[in-house]
Amino acid sequence: MSIFKPFAFKPLSFKPDTLKSVSPVALAISAALSSGYAFAAEPVNESATSDDMEVIVVTSDFRGASLEKMPSSVTVIDQQQIEDEGAQHFEEVLNSIANFNWSGGSSRPKYFQIRGVGEQEEYQGAPNSSVGYIIDDIDMSGLGMISSMYDLQQVEVLRGPQGTRYGANALAGLIYLKSNDPTDVFEHGAEVSVGDDDLTTFSGFSSGPLTDSGKLLYRVSLQQHKQNGYRDNLYLGVEDTNGRDEFTGRAKLRWYATDNLELDLTLLHADYNNGYDAWTLNNNGFDTLTDEPGVDKQRTSGSSLKLTYSGADAFELVSLTSYAKTEHHHGYDGDWANPDYWGELTCYGEACQYDYTWDKEGERKTVSQEFRLSSTEAGRIFAGSTDWLVGIYGMKLDEDNDTLEIYNGWEDALKAEYEAENLALFAQTDSDLGDGYTLSVGARVERRDSEYSDSAGDAFSPSETMWGGHIALSKTLSHTQQAYVRVARGYKAGGFNMSLPTELSDKKEYDTETLYNYEVGLKSNWLEGQASTNLSFFYMDRQDQQVSASQQNPDEPQKFILYTENAGSSHNYGAELEGNWYATDNLKLYATLGWLETAYGDYQYQDKYGGTVDLSGRELAHSPNFTYSAGATYRTDSGWFANLTTSGKSDFYYSDSNESKSEAYTIFNARLGYETDLWSAYLWGRNLFDEKYGTRGFYFGNEPDQDWADKQYIRYGDPRQLGLTVSVKFM
């Protein structure tokens, strides 16, 4: 039996339930053929009919559009690719996404950049993300570290403003994680991974019907992941101060209440109890000297409830309710050493005394409600040529933060409270203009009212009305190619800066940022469906660009003055190319390439000595000119399996406040194994050549014995790791 089947295209909405009669091996192979870089695939089942054929559906879209019909640059990484590459966390797949980067200022990635736009950290202030992050319709923007890949259906990354669909939190784009839905037949599985760095991961799932009628279905998945974190604390004599202790649990219920009413309930609980001991004074990267290692914890409980009513002739009604409560705690030893180390050095003629810690604990609650009406085939307007959709969205966010800084015994505490309410109206039409042309027009108007107060006496209550949207024209050039042109407008709310000194009093508030994205693209399949490519070119016009600035306090060098300001306009442009080729029945090849050019407009800032630094025309931080990846998966008819991937980036600036840069790097991963109908076993290696690469960098003075002279400090990514994974599945 051939492993890979030729493609076949059919405009059907994909439901995992359609595979209910397929064996576990066929399910795995079917998922492989539905790779995010392919347009469609035929499940491997000798008795399959044309009704089993599926298309890749972008579930974060209003209507669940097929990937090849989406008039925008979208990456979809499906479950089979995630499993083939052995990804346990989102961190392990993000390098395969073109023009995508992240800032390593936390134990797991939660600050992302798409096409050069995004946050690098969030030490203070109100949450205000440029990149949206959603897990099963639960908004986790700015809190994306709880990103287990186990039992995930697919990862979707939408590039460019998503002003119509997601509004203020998706100026740069959106990351959407979709877990597997309940099935109407019983499926169960378990997986164990062990590896160096004392890695142990235990995972399991169960899915099936809860009633004989098959109208109530469930799915539960659990994962517990632990490892030491690749750092040895030489001062304390332990090796787990940067460790990871991560639990993720998901539960789903699907109830077919009537023929016309479907309810989907999702429950999420994640408890990440990680250490944070990642920085060294001598930049060795992996041997630390801290006496009070930091923490990076996040405990999230969330839920979403989706009601779909299809009983009306002209429209379908969707209600989407979500709730999330997150307790987060981030702290670090800011002197990166210990009293014994500093006491042996001389500062101003006597033994150094330097002891600094920073700690922030917070709680965030969000509640949102969305209603939307979308046309059915019978409800189309303009002589049946146009689908329509209208909706309303409301969200309430509350966040309390307690920040504590301790410097040589002196304490500086700040308690802050923030509340925001958003209300948005949105609409979209999708029209068939004939002769292969399709026009999509969408708009969103959003009102935000917020209040902030803290124990230092700062108080703000900004309110504003923002709008965004898109116009996209698609043209079917042939049955194998579709071109599109898209113009989108995104927005990011303005805000405020707290605890600023008098000399920066003019920077208390900053304005809304607006981004116009102009994009053209071509989606193609070749060789009778055996190969596919997605190509896009874009130009981004950022107006009133928000920039995170920082100044080291010359009077208290252990402290930084952090603030956000507007930097005029800037322009980013570039391209993305994704390709997928089933070279033989057993061999799949895939690759991505991103090209990005960024530059500030007219932007100057003051350094800690009062001098002027001019960044006009300089590249933006965390914006490598090139990102690239390639992979190959080979499966024999007898069950042997191999996967090899490589990915890398060109160099990039670490910060908007200095000239510190990373080095270019390339890393390689591999996975070898044997697969049967019931069990599989794999040997795997990540970063096989032990590449030492930076994920975050600072350039400032942190050594009093050197008179606080500025110096580059680098946080490095994970070194080489080898391991074994065994999994079982049964029905």
pLDDT above 90 (res 553): no
For the residues of 579-607, what is the DSSP string, one character each? EEEE-SSSEEEEEEEEEEEEE-SS-EEE-
pLDDT above 80 (res 102): yes
pLDDT above 80 (res 217): yes
Q: Which residues of 169-202 are buried (b: 16+ CB within 10 A; e: fewer)?
A: bbbbbbbbbbbbbbbeeebebbbebebebebebe
For the residues of 406-419, what is the DSSP string, one character each? EETTEEEEEEEEEE
User: What is the model's pLDDT at position 504?
Assistant: 73
Helix (H, G, I), strand (E, B) or coil at 529: helix
pLDDT above 50 (res 8): no
pLDDT above 80 (res 53): no
User: What is the model's pLDDT at position 552?
Assistant: 66
User: What is the model's pLDDT at position 555?
Assistant: 65
CA 225, 229, 230 angle in degrees (round to 5)? 140
User: What is the model's pLDDT at position 554?
Assistant: 63
User: What is the model's pLDDT at position 15?
Assistant: 37
Between the CA of residue 540 and those of 428, 537, 589, what are the distances in Å? 22, 10, 31
- State the number of CA atoms in the 13 A half-sphere of 99 facing the CB: 29
Q: Which residue has the tokens 């600050």?
A: 111
pLDDT above 90 (res 257): yes
User: What is the model's pLDDT at position 501?
Assistant: 73
pLDDT above 80 (res 18): no
Mean pLDDT of 535-564: 80
Residues 6+ apart with CB under 8 A from 137: 266, 304, 306, 320, 322
Bigger pLDDT: 560 vs 453: 453
User: What is the model's pLDDT at position 498?
Assistant: 76
| Residue 167 burial (10 A CB sphere; 0-12, 13-18, 19+) | buried
Model's pTM, two decimal places?
0.90
Residue-wise pLDDT for 623-652, tens only, equals 999 999 999 999 999 999 999 999 999 999
Percent of the residues in the chain that have a pLDDT greater than 70, as a whole number:
90
User: What is the model's pLDDT at position 686?
Assistant: 97
User: What is the model's pLDDT at position 44?
Assistant: 35
User: What is the model's pLDDT at position 56?
Assistant: 79
Lowest mean pLDDT across 76-90, 293-307, 473-487, 607-621: 607-621
Q: Which residue has the tokens 């510190």?
A: 660
C-alpha to C-alpha distance for 541 and 571, rounded to whole angstroms: 5
User: What is the model's pLDDT at position 549?
Assistant: 74
pLDDT above 90 (res 590): yes
Bigger pLDDT: 118 vs 123: 118
Mean pLDDT of 33-40: 34
pLDDT above 70 (res 407): yes
Residues 6+ apart with CB under 8 A from 478: none
Lowest mean pLDDT across 32-36, 488-492, 620-624: 32-36
Mean pLDDT of 708-724: 94
pLDDT above 50 (res 333): yes
User: What is the model's pLDDT at position 68?
Assistant: 84
Percent of the residues in the chain that have a pLDDT greater than 90, as a whole number:
74
User: What is the model's pLDDT at position 605?
Assistant: 76
Residues 6+ apart with CB under 8 A from 158: 58, 60, 72, 73, 74, 170, 173, 174, 176
Computed over every residue of the chain, the mean pLDDT equals: 89
Beta strands in 497-650 (DSSP E): 509-510, 513-526, 531-543, 546-552, 560-566, 570-582, 587-599, 604-606, 612-614, 626-635, 640-649
Residue-wise pLDDT for 302-317, tens only, equals 999 999 999 999 999 9
Helix (H, G, I), strand (E, B) or coil at 196: coil
Q: What is the DSSP letter of 63?
A: T
pLDDT above 80 (res 500): no
pLDDT above 80 (res 434): yes
C-alpha to C-alpha distance for 299 and 720, rounded to whole angstroms: 29
Q: Which residues of 110-146 are buried (b: 16+ CB within 10 A; e: fewer)?
A: bbbbbbbbbbbbbebbbbbbbbbbbbbbbbbbbbbbb
